[in-house]
Amino acid sequence: MTIRRTALLSGLALLAACSHDTTRTEPVVVEKQSQCPIDLDIGQALTLTLPSNPSTGYRWQVQDAAGSVLGALGPEVYRSNDNDGMVGSDGQSTWRFRAKAAGQGRLLLVYQQPWAPQETPAQRLDCVVRVR
């Protein structure tokens, strides 16, 4: 009887160990092109933060938000790096997303003046996003 009970308990312990969820839950933070491609699990958060200075007339524009695999958690948020209230100082633009479906998408942002879309962007972030 004890051998049978020991075997049963060992089997249950093995099943419990195998069923451990390895889904990553910590948010992924991306601040530059070299951090691409991005690999996420469904439900995992992505924070994208890029340098920005709207006083120059340039803005980051999302051209492709990887909508098939990512859901936006709100609009762009701009935060100035300046602590003394100087007008025209640089800052950071931040977007937050959550992986919503398995697959692959493209996150494409361009940094340009909105009134001159025919001009070559000053910067761009073109990143493959893979969700599993």
Amino acid at site 110:
V
Which segments of the chain have a pLDDT < 50? 7-9, 11-21
pLDDT, tens only, 91-127: 999 999 999 999 999 999 999 999 999 999 999 999 9
Domain containing residue 29: 23-131
Amino acid at site 36:
C
Number of domains in the chain: 1
Q: Is residue 8 part of a domain?
A: no
pLDDT at 81: 84
Count of C-beta atoms within a 10 Å radius of residue 52: 22
Q: What is the rounded CA–CA span in Å between residue 79 and residue 131?
A: 29
pLDDT at 89: 79
pLDDT at 17: 44
Q: Is residue 6 part of a domain?
A: no
pTM of the model: 0.78
Q: Is residue 34 part of a domain?
A: yes
CATH assignment at residue 83: 2.60.40.2020
